[in-house]
Each structure stands twice: as structure tokens, then as C-alpha cells.
Amino acid sequence: MRVDWVIVGAGFTGCTLAERIASQLGETVLVIERRRHVAGNAFDYYNEHGHLVHKYGPHVFHTNSREVWEYLSQFTEWRPYYHRVVAVVQGKQVPLPFNLESLQQLFPARLANIFERRLVSEFGYGARVPVLRLLEHSDKVLRSLGQYVYERVFLGYTIKQWGLRPEELDPSVTGRVPIVVSRDCRYFQDCFQAVPSLGYTALFLRMLSHANIRVLLGADYRDVREDIHFRKGLVYTGPIDEFFDYKHGALEYRSIRFEFVTLDEPMHQKVATVNYPEDYNFTRVTEMKHITGQQARKTTLIREYPERYEPGANEPYYPVPRPENRERYNLYAEDARRLGRSVVFAGRLGDYKYYNMDQAVARALKLFRDLAKM
């Protein structure tokens, strides 16, 4: 087979690039996907009870980028949705990220008010303050609050999620779980928050429906690369260490095991996701009907059990951001540069970098503009 472009991976990065190349440049694209479905980790399907579920855990789209929003809106209508999460702390369900409402629910009113005044005075209303920053603060009242949140909300969840203590991770990870100095209990504060009205899989199928795009599912690129030839370039969104046959050693990832449970009741949780930082082996439980808006007599929950990534046994979901992993990735990045402009690495696994969905699309749109100049 001979095409203009080969793209390995049918997630947000790969499909955005395939659609742009096909529709804007009029060039042919072959998308190769190891799994037997498109949409990457955003893949959703209807289970035996008719519930629309996210196979790889809950995906809620949120962005401040009008460009990304308008681009994806070509392929879907949206169901507006504001994600809400609570954490079970000392037997109480409190809003997450930890905020001023969480304070009021966990502490006596007098102490909660003291914490609130100190937070507002020091950081300003609306600020997002990393927990580790509070632990280092000169104010002993704020340090004591930071210690409480660290021990009750942050520490146990981080160890379960990453297999590491917070101090062992890059600040970019710990900064994503702040104390929020406000009473806004939405999990995200982005301008655009929604889920595709017909699901993510339907969105991706529309993205790939262009006549210039072919899709090969259930195929490993390494097994078919001798039979496929590209005239312009290869975009690889799989693991960069795998592409180079692990010549510098394997990069570290975390995986997740998902357990689906259907209950014979209309609704089980008050909000979509309940986090368990202190109890149980799983980190969180998500009830899909909150997100999809479906009406049904039964309800389906997803429990998440983080685990070590083992190639061939499970999926690599999260690059583990530690200095030694970045150093190893840099060796692979140098190998990638030696290949020239005809081979491009992108996406969470190709860049060895955590991306939200909108960030993956934004990165792909920028990359397309660069490729179009070639």
C-alpha cells in the first residue's frame, strides 16, 4: 500500500492530524491502530444494559481554547456538562478540588473561618494553591491546613495512583491537585465544558469519514511496516521507546484496571465521581449516567485500580514524570531528531507527556500547520 501519510494511533492526536491532512491538503492518509476500535482512550460504547460507558475511564471535555472547541464542533453536537467530584475524607463527602466549601464541611465553623480568612488574605479569592506550597508556608496556620489536606486528601490518593509519594513526582503533577480559594465546586473552571451528545466514538468516526482516509484496526505498525510506504511522512503516536525497540531502556508508565459494576437502581451517587484517598484499593468510582445524561432503570459504575504498567499485559496510560524518566526520554528524542522531518512523534506516548484531551487536539492542530509547510 502506498499513501502520502501514515499515522500510527487513532486517538485525538492521530485523528486530528488525519482529518486535517485529508481535508485541508487533499492528501491520502492511512491510520493504523493496534486496538480494534478508534477514539483511543476516549472510546465509548453501549454495554449490555444499554448504558453508554467509557471503556478507559471517564472522559469529560473541557477547554479554554475557542479554536479547539470550534474545530471539534464540526464533528459533534455537545451536551453541556459540569463535572463534579467529591472525596471521602473522614467519612464525609467533600468537594474536590479541596475548596472553601470543603473547609466548612470538615472543620468547626470557627476554625474553618480562620482558615478561609488566611487563604483569601494570602492568596486572593479564586487562587489555586498547590498543597506542597502550603506545607512550606511561613504562616503556621496555613501550614497546619496544608498538612491536613496533604495527609487526608493528597497523600493516600497519590500513592495509590502513582505508586510514589508526592515529593517523588514532578511539581507539574502535584500542581494539578490544588486547594482552590473559592466556593465553585465544579471540578473544572474552563469556558467550554461538555461531552459529545452521541459519544466520543461517534465524534471520531465522523473525523475519519473523509474519502482520503483509510483506517486499519487491530494491526501493530511493526508487523505491517514492510508492506506500507508513505510519500510524505509518518506520524507516530505510540510509545516512543517501543518505536526504538527500547534501546535506552523502557520508559515508566502507570496503568489502570477498570472494573464495571451495574446496579439495579436508577442512580447511586450524588455526583459523577467519588474519590477514595483513605480507603479501598481503588482510587475513584464514576457513575456514567451523570456524565451522559441517560435515563435508565439501572446504573453502571466504573471503579479504577491503578497498577504498574507491564508491556503486553496492560495499557500505558500515564507517563511517570520523574527526572530519571525525562533523561531517558531525551535520549529517545535525540534519536527521533536524527530521523529527520519525515518521522514525527506526537501525543501522550510519543511525547512522553501528559495531555488533556484539548491539549492533545491543540498540539495536533499546531503540528498540522507545521507539517503543511513541508
pLDDT digits (tens, 9 = 90+) for 327-341: 999 999 999 999 998
Cell of 22: 485529508
Please, are residues 84 and 187 in contact by the beta-carbon 8 Å criterion? yes
Distances 96 to 15, 105, 183 between C-alpha atoms, Å: 32, 12, 11
pLDDT digits (tens, 9 = 90+) for 97-109: 999 999 999 999 9
What whole-number distance in Å separates Cα of residue 114 and Cα of residue 41?
Answer: 43
Instruction: pLDDT band for 348, please (50, 70, 90 cuts).
Output: very high
Q: Is the pLDDT of residue 374 over 80?
A: no
Instruction: pLDDT band for 373, please (50, 70, 90 cuts).
Output: confident
Specify the range with the lowest mean pLDDT, choosing from 33-37, 175-179, 302-306.
175-179
- Cα 198 to the center of its chain, rounded Å: 20
pLDDT at 132: 86
Please, are residues 63 and 194 in contact by the beta-carbon 8 Å criterion? no
* Average pLDDT, rounded, for the chain: 95
pLDDT at 74: 98
State the DSSP H helix or E strand holding residue 329, giving kind and residue range, or none if neither. Answer: helix 323-338
Q: Is the pLDDT of residue 302 over 80?
A: yes
Q: Is 108 left (phi over 0), alpha (psi -120 to 50) or beta?
A: beta
- DSSP secondary-structure letter at 250? P
Distances 374 to 9, 187, 190 between C-alpha atoms, Å: 22, 40, 34
Instruction: pLDDT band for 62, please (50, 70, 90 cuts).
Output: very high
Q: Is the pLDDT of residue 290 over 90?
A: yes
Single pTM value for the model: 0.95
3-state helix, strand, coil in the chain (%, to 5): 40, 25, 40
